[in-house]
Amino acid sequence: MIIAHDLGTTGNKATLVDDSGTLIAAVTVHYPADFDLGGKAEQNPEDWWNALIEATRQLLTKAEVKNTDISVVSFSGQMMGAVYLDGHGVPVRPAMIWADTRSTAQCQSLIDSVGMEHAYQLTGHRLNPTYSLSKIMYIRDTEPDVFAKVSTVLQAKDYLAYRLTGVLVTDPSDASSTNAYDQSSASWSDELVSAAGLKKTLFPEVVASTTVVGHVTREAAALTGMAEGTPVVIGGGDGPTAALGAGIIDENSGAYTYLGSSSWVSISSPQPLHDPQMRSMTFNHVVPGYFVPTATMQAGGASLQWIANVLSPKEDDKYSEILAAAAAVSASAEGLYFLPHLLGERSPYWNPRARAAFIGLLMHHDRGHLARAVLEGVAFNLRTGLNAFTENGHAVSSIDAIGGATNSPLLLQIFADVWGVPVHRRNIAEEANAIGAAIVGGVGVGIFDDFSVASSMSHRTPGRNPEPKNVDSYHNGYATFMDAYRRLEPWFESLPRG
């Protein structure tokens, strides 16, 4: 059996999968995040570790399995962060997670030194303060006493693998989320690390996602309830593992969307996709030899969470209540639009100064209009990412959806109408990241022969087809949505940092 941990923004979703690829049990242990003014977004790595301990013990108890029945532990994790460790492997400060945008000045210095287009060709990504490299520079510049203690910088899942094994490594998928990894040479970039004024020794060794990096130590076994010596496979970043869990293995697998706190659309390709407008980015896949071109927005599911908390703070089932209100409103919310940039924005604008905004408010607009505008704003924003794929030769005829928000038929219908293609929910939607990590772990220790097992571990459920009248309405609405951002972008720059 395989234990896979998916280390997300709000919690660790742990799953137990048997050797045939069947999901046996799943548990989630939540932890907090510290969001504050100025673009701060941090978490305590110790909270992740405690969540792994609790989730592992819960899984073993819930499934009534022996710890010796576990053949491997593997990981999926939030990307683009920075976990700062001293020479003893102890965090010297909270981790800066993907949503942290405080390193704008450091990022600009990289752009001035290297050039945005050149960096995009090297890394598959724009230089942006949401990535690890400028975050490291930020701590060096603003907390020099802390930085002086830093020996290694890891990603979230790498830290948990380290706590289990004592081994400091990462994999290509997470390395490609740092702005410091040269995809063509498959190594840390001398040029970018030098331009940042950093040493390459800060970055861990990069090994294949399927690598058994070590074994559960005696100390970790005592805490987690696992057997000492259990193999640990490093796994990958949550985007690429989600792609695998959604069955996106190669260029013939189609496209998928993930609807979590951040949300994205993605495909698989044998080479990076370098969009001339740089709307998308390309991660290394956990499947060797492949890449996952992706367009990620900062606040996808988080926008739904926000509007539910604002409009229905005391409701026990606030999401159902808000979605029901949104369903009573027609497409494009009767002239009301929402720019979903609550945490700044990655794709397609890559602007940490971007802000969320309702546009077109009138007296008759009520909570249903507001809720529907939020859902449509997320769909409009992700449509621009899909355009980056189709305009560069990657046709998209249908999309598979994973993530917690896919439980809403209304949301899937809005996506189908805005995107103009059928949208199908995968039957294993909320565990897709962990399922992908389980497949990587199973391949790593020989339980699975190859990655094709993904096609048998989840499948499409009946989808939502576009409704022609709504497609036409949203076509016009999309143009208005895009125009609204262009007009407001100069104003965003005049506002104080959030």
What are φ and ψ of residue 443, in 5° steps? -65, -40
C-alpha Rg value of the chain to the nearest Å: 22
**Cα separation of 124 and 175, whole Å?**
12
The pLDDT of residue 346 is 87
- Element housing 236 (H / E): strand 236-237
The pLDDT of residue 42 is 97
The pLDDT of residue 463 is 85
User: CB-based burial of residue 187 (10 Å sphere; 0-12 exposed, 13-18 middle, 19+ buried)?
Assistant: middle
- The span from the first CA to the last CA of the chain, in angstroms, equals 45
Quick count: other Cβ atoms within 10 Å of Cβ 36?
Answer: 11
98 touches 80 (CB < 8 A): yes
The pLDDT of residue 189 is 98
Q: Tell me the C-alpha to C-alpha distance, in Å, between residue 298 and each of 305, 343, 354.
A: 13, 6, 11
**Each residue's pLDDT tens digit, 170-200:** 999 999 999 999 999 999 999 999 999 999 9
Quote the strand ranges of 135-235, DSSP E.
152-154, 169-170, 181-182, 187-188, 205-206, 212-215, 231-233
**Each residue's pLDDT tens digit, 4-50:** 999 999 999 999 999 988 889 999 999 999 999 888 999 999 999 99
Can you list the domains of the chain with their CATH numbers? 2-239 (3.30.420.40), 247-425+467-498 (3.30.420.40)
The DSSP symbol for 424 reads: E
354 touches 341 (CB < 8 A): yes
Residues of the chain with pLDDT under 50: none
**177 three-class SS:** coil
pTM summary value: 0.88
The pLDDT of residue 498 is 60
